[in-house]
Copies of this chain bind each other. A is one copy, B any other.
Amino acid sequence: MPAAIIPKEAVLDRLAAAFRQHGYDGASISRLSEATGLGKASLYHYFRNGKQEMAEAVFAHVGGNFQELVIVPLTRTGDPTRRLRAAARGLDEFYGRGDWSCILDLFGIGSARQIFQPQLRSVVTGFESVLSDLAQEAGVDRITARRRAEDVVVAIQGALVVARATGERKAFTRVLKELPNRLLGID
């Protein structure tokens, strides 16, 4: 069998980039074909159910990256502040230093919403509970920990929106730098 011209990993990365740039509804099959360098036939060969399956694969792939870059560092053992700094570095990479939109934002809009809303919800609550657990481990009481975890997720998402609107990533960079203080610091 002829080997794939390009590894599936790379295909998913390029699909993700296209979805991030155009959103779900704006990412047409032709654009996805251009972005990957694969013809329509190849795309439909790999993703029998078309655009929706591409988006689902991207969602899973990106979720894996997030797990690896952010969740894993957070759930290690060791000093909570160091773990948060590692997660901040992971987030910086995961979001292309603030240049990339979050799938959580994009897939909550338009026709993607019908497909992904339940999964979006569980990603948010999952991330929040990992953050909250870390804060409690560092001695923060449960109520405060949950509130701060929510604040951190809100701040990350908001910073990405603001970065995209202004064309500057300074808000995003600052949120990441302040991440340990935002979760563990004084009220």
Expressed in whole angstroms, the minimum distance between the Cβ of A84 and any Cβ of chain B is 18
- Binary per-residue interface labels of chain A (160-172) against chain B in the complex, 1 for a CB within 8 Å, 0 otherwise: 0110111100010
Are B22's CB and A165's CB within 8 A? no
- Count class of interface residues, chain A: 35 or more
* B150 x A154 contact (CB < 8 A): no
Contact B157 A111 (CB under 8 A): no
| Residue A115, interface by CB 8 Å | no
In terms of DSSP, what is the predominant structure of the interface of chain A?
helix
In the complex with contacts A108-B161, A154-B171, A157-B158, A166-B125 CB distance below 8 A: yes
Q: Which of A104, A158, A175 has the most CB of B within 10 A?
A: A158
9 closest A-B pairs by beta carbon, nearest first, are A158-B158, A26-B110, A154-B158, A25-B26, A157-B158, A120-B165, A157-B161, A108-B164, A23-B109
